[in-house]
Amino acid sequence: MTNNKVRIVLAKVGLDGHDRGIKVVARALRDAGFHVIYAGLWQTPEAVVRAVADEDADWLGLSLLSGAHMTLVPRVLEQLERAGLGHVGVIVGGTIPREDIPKLLERGVARVFGPGTALAEIVAFLRGREDRADA
């Protein structure tokens, strides 16, 4: 029997220790039928990419509140490419200034979700992009 659930790794990269939001998102995605793997706090880009590979994830969700998004997200994207995981979709959540969102999208992030985003919006986005799991 095969499990066709979309697999998503959620992680906090860098020194940001605030994880309430990502835990709420993890539960919402789990309740919506996604297979969620929470990699935890204080992850390095390399550790996150290793988790994506180990878990055979379709998506990676990064949460950043530290202001280091323009350094850490590009490093994660670069590591994904190096590992042959460029097909994995990447979403970002947290306190990302509006002017940085287009820069992250240009680098390959599929979507940025800011504070206060309705959980249903995140679920709907991922459901609309479930075809990534077949890529």
What pLDDT band is residue 134 in, cutting at 50, 70 and 90?
very low
CATH numeric code, 1-33+51-63+77-129: 3.40.50.280
Q: What is the pLDDT of residues 78-129, one digit of tens each?
A: 999 999 999 999 999 999 999 999 999 999 999 999 999 999 999 999 999 7
pLDDT at 132 over 80: no
- The string over 79-101, giving b where at least 16 C-beta atoms fall within 10 Å of a residue's C-beta and e elsewhere, is bbeeeebeebbbbbbbebeeeeb
Q: What is the pLDDT of residues 31-44, one digit of tens each?
A: 999 999 999 999 99
Cβ 25 vs Cβ 15: under 8 Å: no
CA dist., res. 27 & res. 32, Å (int)? 8
What pLDDT band is residue 17 in, cutting at 50, 70 and 90?
confident
**Where exactly are the structural domains of the chain?**
1-33+51-63+77-129
pTM for this prediction: 0.92
